Amino acid sequence: MMMHKFHRSKIVVMLVLLLVLAACSQQGASSNGEAKSNDAPAASQTDSASQEVRKIKHVLGETELKGTPQRVVVLEWTYAEDVLALGVQPVGIADIKGMNQWVRLPVDISKDVVDVGDRSTPNMETIAALKPDLIIGLKYNLEKNYEAFSKIAPTLVFDPYPVDESFDQYQEMTATFNTIADALGKQKEAEAVLQDLDQAYAKAKEKIQAAGLDKTPIVLAMGYSNQNAAVFRVSTDNALAIKILEHIGLTNKYKPSKFEQYGFTTTDVEAFPALQDANFLHIIQDDDNVIENQLKNNPVWNGLSFVKENRVYALGGDMWPYGGPLSAKIMAETTAELLTKK
């Protein structure tokens, strides 16, 4: 009888132990489940952040962006430069061949980037097929079809050439660069690029001043042929390129007779005698060298002081005077090097 009670007691103890173990097991499972459940809100918060809706202001109003754009199509070289400067390769750029010819950059356009056609008339079907989540362009080209572009993807539009004479093209360049950086979540990268540009200005200015070249004015002109005649776009004080050169201590000799919205006066060689005491900087394509061709035997050109004294400096056909901070840095460094080269 005592043995029977002992066995029953033993069985009861074992059952209690099993129940305790089962409860502990369920509690562990419940704890694990709770951990997973607690992780869920964190994941939801991440998803929420990636889908955050922001409003970006531009010249045609405000555009809502959901999250951070990953597939960007750019329809103007200046803004393609801005995107590349921020470490982002667009999925599409307008007229890549032309950009490679006219715009010298330290960053290559990836071979994967699709050419979406001419800057003024890009191919809408090609753009739509790329499934962009952001389109960036110029007011002059996009204003008429802004609604159509906006149906493909959120579209940001900028205008570096308003009619207001007090408008500063340089401030517009940096402001647009920062706006694009904000849209792409690349504010820190933008800050680093602009700091690097300021350092390049300081070094270039030091070179210019050490050589005493800040005391001699400059003229900056883009030259090309038109009906076999030499034509020049002579930069005015409001031009972005002149503002860049002012950052390295240079001043512009040319003063137009009227306000030039785009920052240049289109003229010919007859405008240069009044400017011949300046140092002459030019942007001319190798395959359209009007100085070596049209002006080779031109008496007006050959009689100019800056020609006779070898004060004519070729910045190169791919020196883009309408670009962003990368073009600005290249212009500042190249100009200082050319002017101070012995």
Average pLDDT score over residue span 324-330: 98
- Alpha helices, H only, 211-308: 240-246, 299-302, 305-308
Nearest to 269 by CA among 316, 332, 319, 225: 225
| Contact between 245 and 271 (Cβ < 8 Å) | no
State pLDDT tens for residues 204-224: 999 999 999 999 999 999 999
Burial class (CB in 10 A: 0-12, 13-18, 19+), 67: middle
* pLDDT for position 27: 43
| Contact between 71 and 91 (Cβ < 8 Å) | yes
* pLDDT for position 196: 98
* pLDDT for position 294: 96
Q: How far apart are CA 146 and CA 155, in angstroms?
A: 8
What are the residue boundaries of the structural domains of the chain, listed by start? 53-194, 212-340
Q: How far apart are CA 207 and CA 248, in angstroms?
A: 9
Instruction: Identify the residue with better confidence: 337 or 37.
Output: 337
| pLDDT greater than 50 at residue 35 | no
Domain 53-194, CATH: 3.40.50.1980
State pLDDT tens for residues 287-308: 999 999 999 999 999 999 999 9
The answer to whether the 53-194 and 212-340 domains have the same CATH topology is yes
| pLDDT greater than 50 at residue 20 | no
Q: How far apart are CA 301 and CA 100, in angstroms?
A: 31
Which residues of 71-228 form beta strands (DSSP E)? 72-74, 92-93, 114-115, 134-138, 155-158, 218-226
| pLDDT greater than 70 at residue 13 | no
Which residues of the chain form beta strands (DSSP E)? 53-58, 61-66, 72-74, 92-93, 114-115, 134-138, 155-158, 218-226, 229-235, 264-267, 279-284, 312-314
Q: How far apart are CA 113 and CA 135, in angstroms?
A: 14
Nearest to 114 by CA among 132, 126, 128: 126
> What is the 8-class DSSP label of residue 238?
T
| pLDDT greater than 50 at residue 189 | yes
* pLDDT for position 65: 94
Q: How far apart are CA 148 and CA 125, in angstroms?
A: 11
* pLDDT for position 164: 77
Residue 78 pLDDT grade (very low, low, confident, very high; cuts 50, 70, 90): very high
| pLDDT greater than 50 at residue 322 | yes
The pTM of this model reads 0.84
Does the domain at residues 212-340 carry the CATH identifier 3.40.50.1980? Answer: yes
* pLDDT for position 69: 96
| pLDDT greater than 80 at residue 285 | yes
Residue 165 pLDDT grade (very low, low, confident, very high; cuts 50, 70, 90): confident
| pLDDT greater than 80 at residue 100 | yes
Query: pLDDT over 70 for what percent of the chain?
Result: 85
